[in-house]
Amino acid sequence: MRKIPLEINCIDRCAPALEAGKTFFNTLCAATDGSNQSVPWKINLIKKDIDIRKFSQQKSAKSRLVCAANVFNEIYENIPHNSIEGLKRITSNAAQLMDNLALEDASILTIEPGIPQSGRFISLLRKEFLRLGRIPASPCTHAENCPLLLSEAKKRWCHFAHNTLNAPKELKRLSEAAGIPKDRLVFSYLFTDNASRSEKTIKKEKNIRIISDIFPLPVNRFGCYGCSDSGLILLAGEKNQIEELSSGSIYKSVISNNLQLDIKSNAIIINIH
């Protein structure tokens, strides 16, 4: 990657944060590159307040990859959680902003904290990107309607939890020194591409994305939620079986015609034997 002449635009309202980031990058390059040759990356620091209502209308050079990590939660965090229309407006503007910054065949990555409001934002963002012709590639296993936008699923949201064992030791040390050590990373995300996919293709075997931790069920059984083009899924089985289904992983299963629905979540029940 360091040999590829990339041009990177970093946008933030805080100039010192941008400068600090570039300093960190340059220092890491000097520490790990024995040749001491400069990396052929052009890094543009752009001090700008991202007003998505105005910024989305501006013309600028388009990119092959647009990333927004922990950006939009600072915009929608003040909206009441019962104001779905307000969240829809922000989501529509956010999708248009990123679409305007991206080439037609570009990829777009959006990462937000793994809290309910962020999960709703991501589900609505997915809907907006589909309207703009950008197909969800991950975590979604399909381009059908998002099961978590249905009223029956309002208490569930798309998010993933991972431990921090593989986090850089420097980051761990910094977090501990700041008094905010982390042993779990919980986030919601959406990655889109323009790969050609047929939404009408019917596959006997379903790809189910695991979107929750495991939890106890009656009669000494355990379960976890998954998402598929058939809707919300409740995978149920013995504890050791469910523990093998880690958050974010894919489980392949055949969904029979004799569907049994969970009374609490209205999810399709698949029993793992």
55 and 106 part of one domain: yes
Same domain, 131 and 239: no
The verdict on 134 and 61 lying in the same domain is yes
- Identify the DSSP state of 159: -
Residues 38 and 55 placed together within one structural domain of the fold: no
Q: Are residues 82 and 177 in the same domain?
A: yes
Residue 32 and residue 109 in one domain: no
Q: Tell me the H-state helices in 133-177.
A: 169-177
The DSSP H or E segment spanning 184 is: strand 184-193
What span, in angstroms and rounded, lies between the C-alpha atoms of 76 and 177? 30
Burial class (CB in 10 A: 0-12, 13-18, 19+), 272: middle
How many structural domains comprise the chain? 3
- Pair (61, 89) in one structural domain: yes
User: What is the per-residue pLDDT across 70-113, written as a single tens digit (0 to 9) for each?
Assistant: 989 888 887 877 788 889 999 999 999 999 989 999 999 999 99
Residues 73 and 45 in one domain: no
Whether the full predicted model's pTM is greater than 0.85, yes or no, is no
Q: HSE-up of 211 (CA within 13 Å, CB side)?
A: 32
Range of the domain at 24: 1-49
Instruction: Give the pLDDT score at 82.
Output: 76
Residues 6+ apart with CB under 8 A from 209: 139, 140, 141, 226, 227, 228, 248, 249, 250
pLDDT in tens, the chain (273 residues): 778 888 888 888 889 999 999 988 888 777 665 555 677 888 999 888 776 666 555 566 788 999 999 989 888 887 877 788 889 999 999 999 999 989 999 999 999 999 989 999 999 999 999 999 999 999 999 998 898 886 555 577 889 988 888 888 888 888 899 998 888 889 999 999 865 443 434 455 789 999 988 999 999 999 999 999 888 999 999 999 999 998 999 999 887 777 899 988 889 999 987
Domain assignment present for residue 198? The answer is: no
On whether both 224 and 166 belong to a single domain, the answer is no
Q: Is residue 199 part of a domain?
A: no
